[in-house]
Structure 1
Amino acid sequence: MSMSQLTSIPRINHPPFITSLENPKKKISSADRHIITKLMATYIITLVLLLMLFFQSTTSTNIPPKDQDLRVAIEEMQKANYFTFVMLINKSPFDRKFLGKVTFLMPNDRMLSKTIIPQNAVSSFLHSHSIPSPLFFEHLQYIPIGSILPSSMPEYVLNISSGGGRRSPFLNNVRIISPNICTAGSSIRCHGVDGVLSKVKSPGSNILSLPTCSNNKDSVASASPVASAPSTVPLLPFRNDFPMPAPNRLTIANIIQNLHSKLLKFMATVSVVSMISVSI
């Protein structure tokens, strides 16, 4: 190829900022610097968003299946040598009823070793041995004799009898022998009992739902006499120490309002991110 042919080859014109980068001695103009800065800012924002999505996905998958209160209660059960009952909790399917506001009545290992519990009946066994409210032993002592407590299994109940006296009442056929084993958590209590609970069918709609109790076992409600007909179940005479939870009345208007506020927050967040990227 001759020199004349070489000189006739058209020259490729690069963008100004690329030409400036190829020739570091040439000063970069303000327009080129603005383009480079905007590209770098776009890459940085994209990288930050990807990292946020990555960490959010990893944290959501690492959430333990059972909350802190249940883990603390299990540790207390193990310290008190109720290993078989802990094994039943670990074998049971995930149930939100056991994540809080529950009282477990635990037979010891010797009693459970004599009981045959099929794999598909573990959850039912735990439900029948639990009360859907966190109650210290002192709270149970002040429940009137003859009252009926609901269990976590709707069709079965717990009868309070005076076989052990006021200081140690019977629940169906068992007596609490190791009270207040689980006390560290805020919503789970457990007591050791001297046997496996017999299942007593619910008499009907006379069962009173238990109120949410105080977290302090010293704030025990004093029992007041309750006059009741023989055909009715005695009510639990709790005072304000055991406030009844107010019903959660969510109307369609409230649901729409909540969704609207969440949508506004999301749009505001997107707008702020967009404004930041545009200003850069």
Structure 2
Amino acid sequence: MALPSLFILLFLLGFAESQSFTHPFNRTDLQAAIGDMRAKSYYGFAMLLQMLNGTSQPTRDLTFLMPDDKELSASSISIYEVEEFLLKHAIPMPLYFNDLSHFPTGTLVPSGNSSKMIRIHNRGRGDFFVNNAQIVSANVCLNSMIKCHGVDAIIEYDN
């Protein structure tokens, strides 16, 4: 079981490296993703992305794992931590839920923060976790290269 996970991880890392700068993150994609987030009531996450708009932006296409507004309002994110928070809630390549569902339980995928890894817990569409957070709303962002999925918690990482 560990060997297939290792191959998937190596594939993802290689793919993420090769794709990092081929499709620059552009304002059109960002605005389309923010519109999709708002349409599904992920206002808080959309607002965090807009806070970065113009100051710094990711240089590649991502998959965002978005906590809902209730979870975001219970967290304490300072203005200086917004980019780090967003990158910890991202995978450095665009993945639909169908793509994620192919990863077996135990697979580690890189987060947008290069020092953090996300562990997949795959027990099917209704029971799919990234670290401690369950995906509760799949394929929210469909109108841009950016993909996103709603999760039920702020993603936590082991130290």
2:43 to 60, 83, 93: 83
Kindly indicate whether structure 1 or structure 2 has the higher relative contact order, using CA contacts under 8 Å at least 6 residues apart.
Answer: 2
Q: TM-score, normalised by structure 2?
A: 0.78
Q: Cα RMSD (Å) of the superposition?
A: 1.5
Q: Distance in 2 between matches of 1:178 and 1:200?
A: 24
Q: Distance in 2 between matches of 1:200 and 1:183?
A: 31
> 1:55: which partner in 2?
none
Contact 1:172 1:200 in 2 (8 A): no
1:178 equivalenced with 2:137 (yes/no): yes
After the TM superposition, which segments of 4 or more aligned residues of structure 1 sit over 4 Å from their partners? Answer: none
> 2:58: which partner in 1?
96
> 1:169: which partner in 2?
128
1:191 to 149, 155, 159: 149
Instruction: Choose 1 or 2 for highest CA Rg.
Output: 1
Q: Secondary structure at the match of 1:96?
A: coil
Q: How does 1:217-236 map to 2 (within 5 A)?
A: none
Gaps in structure 2 of 5+ consecutive residues: 1-24
Q: How does 1:1-280 map to 2 (within 5 A)?
A: 66-92=26-52, 93-97=55-59, 100-162=60-122, 165-167=123-125, 168-185=127-144, 187-201=145-159
Contact 1:157 1:200 in 2 (8 A): no
Deviations 1:233-275 (A, max 9, x none): xxxxxxxxxxxxxxxxxxxxxxxxxxxxxxxxxxxxxxxxxxx
**In the comparison of the two structures, how many residue pairs are matched?**
132
What is the percentage of aligned positions where both structures have the same residue? 36
**TM superposition shift of 1:144:** 1.3
Question: Which structure has greater strand proportion?
Answer: 2
Task: Specify the code of the residue in structure 1 equivalent to 2:40.
Answer: A
Gaps in structure 1 of 5+ consecutive residues: 1-64, 202-280
Q: TM-score, normalised by structure 1?
A: 0.45
Deviations 1:190-235 (A, max 9, x none): 000001000235xxxxxxxxxxxxxxxxxxxxxxxxxxxxxxxxxx
